[in-house]
Every structure is written in structure tokens, then in C-alpha cells.
Amino acid sequence: MKIVVCVNHVPDTEARIKIGADGKGIDKSGITYILNPYDEIAVEQGLRLKEKFGGEVIAISLGGESNKETLRKTLAMGADKAILLKDESDRDSFSVAKALSDNLKEINSDIILFGKQSIDFDNSQLPGLVAEMLNLPSVSVVVKLEIENNQVVCEREIEGGHEKVESRLPVVLSVQKGLCEPRYPSLKGIMAAKTKLIEEKPVISNSKKVEIVSLRLPASKGTGKIVGTEPTAAKELVRLLHEEAKII
Amino acid sequence: MNSTEQTIPTFEITENQKMVQQLARDFAEKEIKPVIMKYDESQEFPLDIVRKMSELGFMGIIFPEEYGGAGFGYLEYVTIIEEISKADPSMGLTIAAHNSLCTNHIYTFGNEQQKKKYLPDLCSGKKIGAWALTEPTSGSDAGSMRTTAMRDGNYYILNGSKNFITHGSVGKVTVVLAITDKSKGKKGISAFIVDNDTPGFIVNKKENKLGMRSSDTTALAFDNCAVPIENLIGEECKGFHQALTILDGGRISIAANALGIAQGAFDASLKYSKERQQFGKPISEFQAIQWKLSEMATQIEAARLLTYRAAFLKNKGDEIIKESSMAKYYASEVAVMVTNEAVQIHGGYGFTKDFIVEKFYRDVKLVTIGEGTSEIQKLVISRELLRI
């Protein structure tokens, strides 16, 4: 089975985000980048499929030189090879999907895995766009996966429940927490990653359709207020929730 | 301190170090931090955590892949011990004692047959290793050792007792130092690989300790324990010399253990000082606290430089007697100072088990004592300086 996992290099969940000088991007100085946590689940799923069916796992990422760190982590986890689509320019989901699918066409894989979203811009668009561009079926927010022969059975997370769907290989899946627990890259994996190849490919075209106009940080949370500790305070609490917070 | 320029390591963290640091940090956060107080309270050895650390390769960090090790150097080794010790100093100590003492003794001085027999199971963590030098009446003065190993045909017969042995009860393999020639004092000491299931190998009392409580520390006794002659490490009467070399490397790992404790206590204090409000503002805005933080951070960095320098020189294959003693002495004393201030910054909360600094404050005292007290480190350093 030829398995491709598309991975993104995103600011650490604990990073303190500041808006950059141009107001359209973030200030990247001092930020640690990590493998997008949902993509980490996709890598784990890819490795499990390889362990079950044989074949190879190829990790692919679009971005600058520093994306190699994230690709190296996927190799340390056990991916067989990695491809860096090298491009530092600002892109929207459509242009990333275009660059990815142009390359994915050549790979001709059985399954393409994504995290359900990247924790940087949270667009959740890539899996669907790529599937469309490759004319493949896609299933999003997958929490359970079974493959037999070419039959794919997935459970998706939906509001208040799970939806069971069937499809066929080749397929594009976006995965959600709960599907599987990502492994740690072992010391042996880290050592082995040094001898694995990260193939670099330039990406020239940028067919961007969406422009970021401005970015702003969310308003800082106000401090909490203790209305009182006695049962008599309940009335005042209800009044404030109704009149001030306007949530009931 | 001449020839300084040759002995200063690069200050850039390597790609390898970065990756193992991230791995050890993630592991410590997810697998150790949430459960460690339970083990501290019960003094149970966390076999489950050690099994997981073994799967990652932490029990054979510095040994070549041909023996089942990860094949990394001392920089990555120190990095891993520091990160694990930030979450639990006892688990940092487990990695240090297993790698640096038992396994490294066999790796450095064992013959090919011994290495092939013992290293793969030690490196994979299938067997936990211990190293037995100290005795009830023989600590810094190894010459007063009483455990004997008398040759009898194809065996050495061990008799005597050992004290404060890390992994004494959970270990499966122990490197034991014992006298083979009483007339020679410490120069009559030899080293043996002993399988813990050998008849006459007795695990005695497990210590109830101030700190490092999830580390397994026990007394051992040997009652006519027959060890095959092929388990002698190197030649007879070379044990003391071997032990000194092993401790040179071991001190780097204890320095890293101390560094992790200090950094962990500092990180907790920095966070707390920004959250704790008094007189209408965070206590980090008071100069009394700011000065403490500055002193702590500066001394930790100095300790880190000494530790990484010793690791760098060890990788190069240089003699590191003085450098590893300096690192161990300084880092452990800094760690004691830092944990003391960390509890002070936390005030009353720091005196409770709800805050990690309480544990660091107890755990830290081991590092100025184990693998040579600070006083012995100063003796070693001065001997090197004066070439006595």
C-alpha cells in the first residue's frame, strides 16, 4: 500500500502569538514550530496501515527550509521518505491544495491522509480541495478506520454522534483525535531518520485566490467576578447572566 | 585552565539534541508528570515508566547499535537526563545509573563475549542494571572495602554486603566490586558481572528515603555467591582503577540530573511568581523575587555550560577527571540552592505536596552525595590541579 501523509509545520500550541509588523502575518521570531498535532495522528495511522498491509509511507509538506524539522520527525516516527515542496511565499488553502495535488498525481498513492485541520489557520479545507482536484472520494473527521480489500469503512465524528460511511481506495481522509495515539519517535528512529531522504522540489506557481487583509488578536479575557458565596447570591448571578452577559 | 579554546564546545544545539530533547520533554510531560507523585508517596519503582523509556531507547543511549544501543553521544545523553529529571529526578537517576555505571562498566572494560552476552538485554531495558561499590562501612574510602571474592576452581566465591545500591531489588544484572587480594588494599579490588538470580545473591532492606523515593535503593548481601570466572571484568585487581574511570563518566550524568532538578524548580518558580498576586500585583514585580530569579537562572546556565563542556570532552575521548568533577560539584550545589529558593518563592504552598518544588527540595539532596560527595569532588579537582 502506498500511503501519503500531508503534514504541516505549525507554531507550538504553547507559543505566544504576536502580530507581525505588516499586520497580515504573525511575528515568527522566537516561535517554536511543531508537527501539526492532527497530522501527527495521520502519520501514526499511515504507519499502522503500512505495518498491516506493507508498502511505504511518504510524508509531504509545503513550506520553507524549517519544514524539514517536521518532516524529519515523521521520518523518525517511521515514515520511509519525505518530500518538501519548497516555497516560502504566502499561500491560501487553494494554492497549497493545487501545489500538493500536482505532486500527488505523480505519486499515485492508495491513500492520502491529512489531519482534520492545521492548528495555525484552521481552515480545514485542504483534504476536500485536494480530493476534488485529484477527482478522489474524501471522508473528513475520521475517528475509526477499517480497510479490507479495497473497501474503506470509516466512522466520522458529527454533532452528537458518529456517522459510518463506506468508500473505496484510493481515497483522501482527514483524521480526528481518537483515531489512534501517535507514537513517540524512538532514539533508534531518530538515528535512522538521518539516513533517510528528504527530497526537495521547487514550487513555482501560486494561484492564490484569498488575500489576508489583516490579523488581530482576540480581546483578552476579562477577570472573573465572584458575585457571592451564599445561596442568596444566586438571584444576582442570574440577573447578571441575563442583563450583563446576555447569555440566558 | 590553559588551552581553553580547544575545550570550549559549540554553543549551538545540534539537530540530534533538539530531536531527543523534544522527545524526552514530550515523554516526561505526558507519561511521567501526571503519575509521579503516586510513586513518590508509595516508594514503588515505576516499572511501567521504565518499560516505556526502554522502548524509546533510553536504557542504552550511549552504546553502539551493534550491542542494541541507540548509538548517541554524551550531549544527547545529558540532554535526555536533564529533560527527564525536570519531571522526575528519580527517573533521571535510573537512566544515569543504568547507562553510566552498570552498562558502561561492561561496555568499557568487558571482553567481547561479556559484551555480547549482557549488553543487548541491558540496552533494551529487558534487564535493569545495578553497580555495587559502596558498603555499610566503606563509602568515599573504597580501600576499606570488606566484600571478598575468593577463587575456587572455576568460580569466585563472593561474601560480604553492599549498601545504597540503585536498582538493588529491580536489577537483573549487577556489577559488583570485591576484594580478590586482601594484601593490596584498594589495589586488590576486582569487578564482576553478577546475575541477580545467582544463589547467594541476597536483596536486603530497601531504604526509606528523604527524596528520590521512586528510585530503588537497597542493601545487598553475598553469602557464598559463586560467580563463574568468565564473569571477571578485565584482569584481577584492576577493579578500583576501572571504577574510577566509570565514575568519571557517571559524574556527568549526575550533573545532568542536578541540572534537570534545578531547571524544573526554576521553571515552576518563574511561572508561580507571575501568577501569585500580593499587594495588588504579581510577586514577580517585586525586586526581592526578581533578584532570586536572576541568581537562579544565571547559576543554572553556568552549571549547564560546565556539564555540556564535560560531555563534549567525553565525546572527544579526552580525560575528564577534573571537568566531570567540576560539573558534578557545581551543578549539584547550584541545584540545592535553586530548589531552596524555589520553595521560598512559593512560600507556604511550596511546603505542600501540591507543588512540585516540594519534591525537588527533597530529591535534590542526593546529587551532592551520590557518586562522590561535593567534598570528594573538591578533593578530586584539587588533586588534578596540583597533580598530587
Pick from B64, B91, B123: which residue ends a domain?
A: B123
Structural domain contains residue A218: no
Question: Which residue of A72, A190, A194 is in closest CB contact with B20?
Answer: A190
- Give yes or no: residues B301 and B369 share one domain: yes
- Give yes or no: residues B205 and B263 share one domain: no
If you measure CA to CA, which chain B residue comes closest to A35? B22
The nearest CA of chain B is from the CA of A157 a distance in Å of: 25
How many domains does chain B contain in total? 3
> Mean of the per-residue pLDDT values for chain B?
95
- Give yes or no: residues B172 and B107 share one domain: no
- Give yes or no: residues B168 and B296 share one domain: no
* Alpha helices by DSSP H, A55-169: 67-77, 93-107, 126-134
If you measure CA to CA, which chain B residue comes closest to A76? B19
The nearest CA of chain B is from the CA of A14 a distance in Å of: 13
- Give yes or no: residues B291 and B382 share one domain: yes
All residues of chain A having their beta carbon less than 8 Å from the beta carbon of residue B20 are 187, 190
Q: Which residue has the higher pLDDT, B2 or B58?
A: B58
Query: pLDDT value at position B3?
Result: 43
- Give yes or no: residues B370 and B268 share one domain: yes
Per-residue pLDDT of chain A (248 residues; tens, 9 = 90+): 999 999 999 999 888 889 999 988 889 888 999 999 999 999 999 999 999 999 999 999 999 999 999 999 999 999 999 999 999 888 999 999 999 999 999 999 999 999 999 999 999 999 999 999 999 999 999 999 999 999 999 999 999 999 999 999 999 999 999 999 999 999 999 999 999 989 999 997 888 899 999 999 888 877 788 888 888 899 989 998 998 888 88
Q: Is-contact B258 B93, C-beta < 8 A?
A: no
- B2 pLDDT exceeds 50? no
Task: Give the list of residues 6+ apart from residue B315 with CB closer than 8 angstroms, or none.
Answer: B73, B74, B75
- Give yes or no: residues B31 and B116 share one domain: yes
Pick from B209, B237, B265: which residue ends a domain?
A: B237
CB atoms within 10 A of CB A142: 25
Task: Give CA separation, A72 vs A75, A86, A189, A193, B335, in Å.
Answer: 5, 15, 10, 6, 34
Q: Is-contact A37 A115, C-beta < 8 A?
A: yes
Query: pLDDT value at position A226?
Result: 84
* B56-79: average pLDDT: 97
The nearest CA of chain B is from the CA of A81 a distance in Å of: 18
Contact map slice: A 77-136 vs B, CB within 8 A: none
- Give yes or no: residues B264 and B354 share one domain: yes
Structural domain contains residue A212: no
Domain with residue B364: its CATH number is 1.20.140.10
All residues of chain B having their beta carbon less than 8 Å from the beta carbon of residue A191 are 65, 70-72
Instruction: Tell me the count of A-B CB pairs closer than 8 A.
Output: 40
- B62 pLDDT exceeds 70? yes
* B10-28: average pLDDT: 89
Residue numbers of the domain that contains B297: 240-386
- B4 pLDDT exceeds 60? no
Interchain contact A10–B (C-beta under 8 A): no
* B209-228: average pLDDT: 97
- B246 pLDDT exceeds 60? yes
* B99-112: average pLDDT: 98
Interchain contact A14–B (C-beta under 8 A): no
pTM: 0.90
Task: Give CA separation, A81 vs A58, A62, B70, in Å.
Answer: 5, 15, 21
How many domains does chain A contain in total? 1
Whether B26 and A184 lie within 8 Å, measured CB to CB: yes
- Give yes or no: residues B373 and B332 share one domain: yes
All residues of chain B having their beta carbon less than 8 Å from the beta carbon of residue A194 are 16
Q: Is-contact A149 A185, C-beta < 8 A?
A: no
* B166-192: average pLDDT: 96
Question: Which residue of B15, B22, B72 is in closest CB contact with A187?
Answer: B72
Domain with residue A26: its CATH number is 3.40.50.620
Interchain contact A185–B (C-beta under 8 A): yes
Whether A184 and B58 lie within 8 Å, measured CB to CB: no
User: Which residue, among A171, A41, A68, A47, has the nearest Cα to A111 in the 3D structure?
Assistant: A171
Residue numbers of the domain that contains A164: 2-202
Whether A191 and B56 lie within 8 Å, measured CB to CB: no
All residues of chain A having their beta carbon less than 8 Å from the beta carbon of residue B16 are 190, 194
- B1 pLDDT exceeds 70? no
Query: pLDDT value at position B96?
Result: 98
Query: pLDDT value at position B9?
Result: 60
- Catalytic residue positions of B, numbered: 371
If you measure CA to CA, which chain A residue comes closest to B76? A187
The nearest CA of chain B is from the CA of A43 a distance in Å of: 16
| Alpha carbons B128 and A89: distance in angstroms, whole number | 52
Whether B23 and A184 lie within 8 Å, measured CB to CB: yes
- Give yes or no: residues B136 and B223 share one domain: yes
Q: Over the stretch B294-350, which tens digit does the pLDDT of each residue have?
A: 999 999 999 999 999 999 999 999 999 999 999 999 999 999 999 999 999 999 999
| Alpha carbons B91 and B113: distance in angstroms, whole number | 30
Query: pLDDT value at position B71?
Result: 95
- Give yes or no: residues B254 and B377 share one domain: yes
Chain B interface, mutation test: which of A187, A188, A196, most B Cβ atoms within 10 Å? A187
